[in-house]
Chain A
Amino acid sequence: VSTAEERVRTLLDLVRERYGSGLSPEEVEHVRTGVERLVEAADAMRLVPLNNSDEPLATFVPHRAREV
């Protein structure tokens, strides 16, 4: 498993690749801070064990248009 720092670098590279042309070097550094927070939050969430049966709290409802 990669370290948090490695994941931040990889994710930041992704942002830089897609949007870097519109961001100044200073703004990219701010984005790095944002990515670090995302990774920290993800790591904190991974500390909570989940069972296979723990479903997302979001219900998908198959759609069928109302018939007139």
Chain B
Amino acid sequence: LRVASEHVFLPVRQLGQLVRDRHVSPVELAETFLDRLESLGPEYNAVVTVTRDRAMRQARNAEREILSDQYRGPLHGIPFGAKDLLATSEGIPTTWGAIPYRDQTFDYDATVLQKLEESGAVLTAKLAMVELAGGMGYRQPNASITGPGINPWNKDAWSGGSSSGSGSSVAAGLVPFAIGSETFGSILSPAGNCGVAGLRPTYGRVSRYGAMALSWTLDKLGPLCLTADDCGLVLNTIAGYDPNDPSTTKRPYQYDASDLPGQRFRLGVIKGVADGADEEVQANFRESLRVLEQVASIDEVEMLEGFPSGEVTRTILNAEAASAFEDFLETGRASELTAPEDRYGGYARMSLLATDYIRALRLRGLMAREADRVMSRYDVLVAPSRATVASALDEEFRSVAGGGAPDVMGAVGNGAGLPAISVPNGFGARGLPTGIQFMGRVYEENRVLAVARAYQSLTDWHQRHPPEAMPKN
């Protein structure tokens, strides 16, 4: 029942087998990751609260159950972290990454945390995030109660937003998996920046109950892990209908990890999707496509060319965020936020016209139907996860919500609620990871995961870890 240093970067699937076979103790596993969260977490500004007491109680329960042959499944006894916008009971703060909410507590757990607890997983930390999930239009990494998220691959670079701690904690081996949220890029961005796998499920696949609302019709919760396969294992646990979240689907989800021998995929690449990306991002993307040709046919496709997909998704986000935080803005509490631009960024949206919001919702219908029509011919669309590697900590960027560079995959994917995954596909400037994303039709997470697994079976980028974060024996 010993935990060795090599266990720190094991995928959840392998770690789960070791726990099931009683080669690794859930209690020692929890202690190992708790120690790493406490010692290394601050180096990456990755952690808001280490939930040691709760973790040790859950780990002891898991150990007792497993030793008495009551094994619950692959997450039983596995530590994880949750983005700090998920409600937690027991007096554990839920800060939403923002100073005005630093003492906020809830008397219940978010549905995803309840489901993970039922699966036997062990909550070890509430993880850092951009304040209010970036909903006030931040334009720089230093926009969080915990300071700028620091990238484990290069400490002068950002870990991404808004699920910063979820990305960096998995990359640095502080937790085997984490839960993040995405409204417009907040899972895929930190996954790409930190070189880990991040899955954005179909809208409505995972209950948002207990999660901070930024945009009711755009918010999604999903896992960040070392591998695509692990993302499937976690999704299998957290997906499902929840009467507390009327947007959740009653369609059942069962992760299918089977890889058929000789299976070939049909991939589409939107014309010009990598144009304007960093040179290394483009080179790594081309090389990834070359690798994927071993298992797939690849076509260039045209989709929604000239359609204002970015404007549609951004208008929906702006209108819903303005309403979600209307009281916050009215009372002037935005002035307490960390990033100066977040202190006034929300006010412009208070002038957004209802007719413009409704127009965006009507155009969303056209966008979703056209995207589905094009995508019905393919298993997935493929693109670079991000156009650049992670920005420098002192560098200002233009956020998606504020009108950054065109991101068709992000705009259509989030606006139409499509599932997508980012997995690492190489390194670019300053030794930072780059990523490739696979996006599928609504409810096609298994197909998305199958393509990502096939890619990871042909590459080893996911097996590389930041040297500074490697455990020292």
By a beta-carbon cutoff of 8 Å, the part of chain A in contact with chain B is 11-12, 14-15, 18-19, 22-23, 27, 30-35, 37-38, 40-42, 44-48, 50, 54-58, 61
Contacts and interface: CB of A to CB of B under 8 A. Distances in A.
A35 B137 CA distance: 13
A30 B330 CA distance: 18
Contact of B361 (A32, A48, A57): A57
Contact of A23 (B344, B362, B364): B344
Given A11-B351, A22-B335, A48 B366 contact: yes
Contacts of A18: 350
Interface centre among A34, A35, A50, A55 (most CB of B within 10 A): A34
A33 B360 CA distance: 20
Q: Secondary structure of the B side of the interface?
A: helix
Nearest to A36: B348
Contact of B311 (A12, A41, A50, A61): A41
Contacts, number: 95
A45 B335 contact: no
A56 B363 CA distance: 7
A46 B343 contact: no
A44 B348 CA distance: 18
Interface in B315-362: 315, 318, 329-330, 332, 335, 341, 343-345, 347-353, 356, 358-362
Contacts of A15: 347-348, 350-351
Given A27-B344, A42-B315, A44-B308, 9 more contacts: A12-B351, A30-B344, A31-B347, A31-B348, A34-B137, A34-B347, A34-B348, A45-B363, A61-B246
A38 B343 contact: no
Contact of A58 (B137, B217, B349): B217
Contact of B314 (A22, A23, A41): A41
Given A14-B351, A42-B315, A57 B364 contact: yes
A34 B353 contact: no
10 interchain residue pairs of minimum CB distance: A34-B348, A56-B361, A11-B351, A41-B311, A57-B365, A27-B344, A44-B308, A42-B356, A57-B364, A44-B311
A43 to B, nearest CB: 9
Given A19-B347, A30-B341, A45 B329 contact: no
Contacts of A31: 344, 347-348
A56 B365 contact: yes
Given A34-B137, A41-B315, A46-B359, A23 B402 contact: no
30 contacts: A11-B351, A14-B350, A15-B350, A19-B330, A19-B347, A22-B332, A23-B344, A27-B343, A27-B344, A30-B344, A34-B345, A34-B347, A34-B348, A35-B348, A38-B349, A38-B356, A41-B308, A41-B311, A41-B314, A41-B315, A41-B403, A44-B311, A45-B315, A45-B359, A45-B363, A47-B308, A48-B307, A48-B308, A50-B359, A54-B366
B361 A34 contact: no
B351 A38 contact: yes
A23 B347 CA distance: 10
A26 B79 CA distance: 47
Contacts of B314: 41
Nearest to B329: A19
A55 B362 contact: yes
A54 B348 CA distance: 28
A45 B312 contact: yes
A42 B264 CA distance: 42
Contact of B362 (A37, A42, A57): A57
A42 B329 contact: no
A56 B137 CA distance: 25
Interface in B176-220: 217
Contacts of A14: 350-351
Contacts of B368: 57
A61 B318 CA distance: 24
A54 B312 CA distance: 15
A35 B366 CA distance: 26
Given A15-B350, A41-B314, A42-B356, A54 B365 contact: yes
